[in-house]
Amino acid sequence: MIRLFLQLLLFGVLTLLAFPSASYAECSSPVGVEGEIIYNIDYKTVQFCDGTTWWNMKGGGGDGLIALDECQSAEAIIFNVTSGMAECPYDHTPDAFSFVDQTGGELSTATETAIIQIANIDDATDIAVSGDGTPEYRICNDATCSTAPAYTSAAGTIDNGQYVQLRLTSNATYETLHSAALTIGESVNPWNVTTRPDCFIVGGANSCADCSVAGGTVVATGVTAGESVCKFSVDLSACPYVDNFQGVGWRKFPNDPPSTATNVSIDECSDAENLCPSGWSRHENWTTTTEFNRTTADSKCSVYNLSQCLTRFDCSTGEHSFANTARESCQAGIHIVTSCDRPRVVDCYARVTEVGCK
């Protein structure tokens, strides 16, 4: 009998050497080839390898099969007699949640998500984080993470009703993405952080490239790195201007002034919103101004009347180079003399020659 066994064994070895076996795809953990069947003593179930995944055969049919790695470690797969399906014994799929992607971030900066509550899972559900920018998460017991628990990148578990927050370090290059994913049970939740451009127009409606195309000049605001406005020259000939002045910027008074005090305004190009090109809008007080001039030789704003009752008082509006500065103004007045009782005051405004738009 022993001799016969040895002969059969030798025959089998020679057969294998003479006729190499066909190549099959493999499964892993443990290693197996397509069509191989094993008994998993840990989960008390028979498994077979389909060339990629070990499948549980407790479910008894094609629709009842699940991959062993669909359940958390140390959880035995069970067979649901009602549904006829093999399934994991616990619920590890939380209610749907997502993180809001962030754009315009600073370079190489720690960036956090909002704090989100995890609901409708069984306790001790697996949690893990992966991705770019050294992502980490922290688990909190309230919506503000009031106890400031430390962030971690190590896999762990989370209980139903707890809160989670994710952070990563943004990319060191402009307009570049870092992406991370937080996995809770069977739910994978991605999050993206994109750094800002090297130059951007405040408000985001237009870009620095748009500024150049429109004929403007990009000027940094100095508020945050890269933030800019687009500076445009003002075409004074296009100003909403009524030519009722004696000389540029002088209000013409009627020959017979009214009997009560009267205020008028000398405001050349006062509608600053209309000074930006189409598709652009004014940003705060970004302007360049010059004094309101009567003539090129006289930078005073003045009010006068030929009546002997009136004495002229001049004022100078002042001016500023391009900056976020309020437009200058001053008041010119008329002094009452003798028996005249009809005073006048004129508000004078500096002329806008450049405007900052967004």
Same domain, residue pair 217 and 348: yes
Same domain, residue pair 120 and 214: no
Provide the domain limits for residue 298.
Answer: 208-357
Which DSSP category does 62 fall into? S
Asked if 182 and 165 touch (Cβ cutoff 8 Å), the reply is: no
Tens digit of each residue's pLDDT, the chain (358 residues): 555 444 544 555 444 444 444 455 688 777 878 877 777 766 667 777 788 877 777 654 443 444 545 565 545 555 555 655 556 666 778 999 999 999 989 999 999 999 999 999 888 899 999 999 999 999 999 999 999 999 999 999 999 999 999 999 999 999 999 999 999 988 999 999 999 889 999 999 999 999 999 999 999 999 988 999 999 998 765 544 333 333 333 333 333 344 444 445 555 554 444 678 899 999 999 999 888 654 443 445 655 444 444 455 667 778 899 999 998 877 766 544 444 444 555 667 777 889 999 9
**Within a domain: 9:** no
Compute the distance between CA of residue 273 and CA of residue 217 in angstroms, rounded to an integer.
18
Instruction: Please state the pTM of the whole predicted model.
Output: 0.51
Same domain, residue pair 247 and 330: yes
Q: Give pLDDT, residue 231.
A: 96
DSSP run (H or E) holding 213: helix 208-213
Asked if 292 and 268 touch (Cβ cutoff 8 Å), the reply is: yes
Q: Could you tell me the CATH number of the domain that includes residue 187? A: 2.60.40
**Within a domain: 34:** yes
Same domain, residue pair 304 and 327: yes
Same domain, residue pair 338 and 228: yes
**Within a domain: 176:** yes
**Within a domain: 163:** yes
Same domain, residue pair 236 and 342: yes
Same domain, residue pair 226 and 343: yes
**Within a domain: 67:** yes
| Domain boundary pick from 195, 219, 238 | 195
Same domain, residue pair 277 and 338: yes
**Within a domain: 12:** no
Q: Which residues contact 349 (CB under 8 A, 6 or more apart)?
A: 265, 266, 267, 268, 270, 292, 317, 327, 328, 329
Residue 259 C-beta-side C-alpha neighbours within 13 Å: 0
Compute the distance between CA of residue 201 and CA of residue 214 in angstroms, rounded to an integer.
13
Same domain, residue pair 145 and 254: no
- Cβ contacts of 281-284, under 8 Å, gap ≥ 24: 281/203, 281/205, 281/357, 281/358, 282/355, 282/356, 282/357, 282/358, 283/202, 283/203, 283/229, 283/356, 283/357, 283/358, 284/324, 284/356
Compute the distance between CA of residue 195 and CA of residue 178 in angstroms, rounded to an integer.
8
Q: Give pLDDT, residue 265.
A: 53
| Domain boundary pick from 33, 58, 87 | 87
Same domain, residue pair 268 and 155: no
**Within a domain: 336:** yes
| Domain boundary pick from 131, 161, 195 | 195
**Within a domain: 201:** no
Same domain, residue pair 60 and 136: no
Q: Give pLDDT, residue 165.
A: 98
Same domain, residue pair 189 and 232: no
How many domains does the chain divide into?
3
